[in-house]
Amino acid sequence: MVPRRERERQMLEAAAQLFTQRGYDGVSMDEIAMRVGVTKPMLYAYFGSKEGLFVACIERAAEPVLDIVREAIDPSVAPDERLWRGLLAFFDFVDQHRDEWSTFFVGASGRGEAAAARIGALRHEIRVALTTLLGRTAADAGVSPELVTEIEAQAQALMGAAESVAEWWLRHPEEGTAQLHALRLMNFAWMGYGDILRGQLWLPPAQR
């Protein structure tokens, strides 16, 4: 008998593959059950509904994204390098999981209340992590802790910018690399548009 955890992993893996290949509407629970080799009632017993299974796939895809952001909050490296590492890891992830990003992040909000709520919760978790990262950076620079609201707003703006660039990149895959997009956003966020116009660019430590 297959253990429950292993059976659930098989179901999620099969569902994620089919959802990314043909989209939410192009996949049936019958097809997913057949791919795994289980009955449809068993699939419903595990996830409740097709939307529930889709939300579970979002959860599965979200774990590495959250890990990327959390790992960037490393007090042992310089503040700018913390942000650089996080952005580079994020765009590397998008590059290596384009179908998953498009299916479970970009297109998930229109797949029911539960999916929209999970994406909202995921964005909140990322925003909290980014606020921590930027907050530590501000503290290292001597910024008053009273500016917490401003830091949260900056984290929201940075998250929105990263998502927008990633979505644009999905539509224009020939435009640049993960490193280039991370560098562009790093300069936009860290240096500011005015500094970019004056030719003052931020570069990774190895390229300085």
Contact of 92 with 178, CB cutoff 8 Å:
yes
How much is the average pLDDT of 133-142? Answer: 72
Please say if the pLDDT value at position 26 is more than 80. Answer: yes
Spatial CA neighbour of 135 closest among 191, 79, 85: 79
Please say if the pLDDT value at position 54 is more than 90. Answer: yes
End-to-end, the C-alpha distance of the chain in Å comes to 58
How much is the average pLDDT of 166-185? Answer: 92
Spatial CA neighbour of 184 closest among 98, 87, 70, 85: 87
Q: How confident is the model at residue 116 (pLDDT cuts 50, 70, 90)?
A: confident
CA-CA distance, 72 to 129, in Å (whole number)?
A: 9
Determine the pLDDT at residue 165: 93
- Rounded to two decimals, the pTM is 0.78
**In what helix (H) or strand (E) does residue 90 lie, and over which residues does it extend?**
helix 79-96
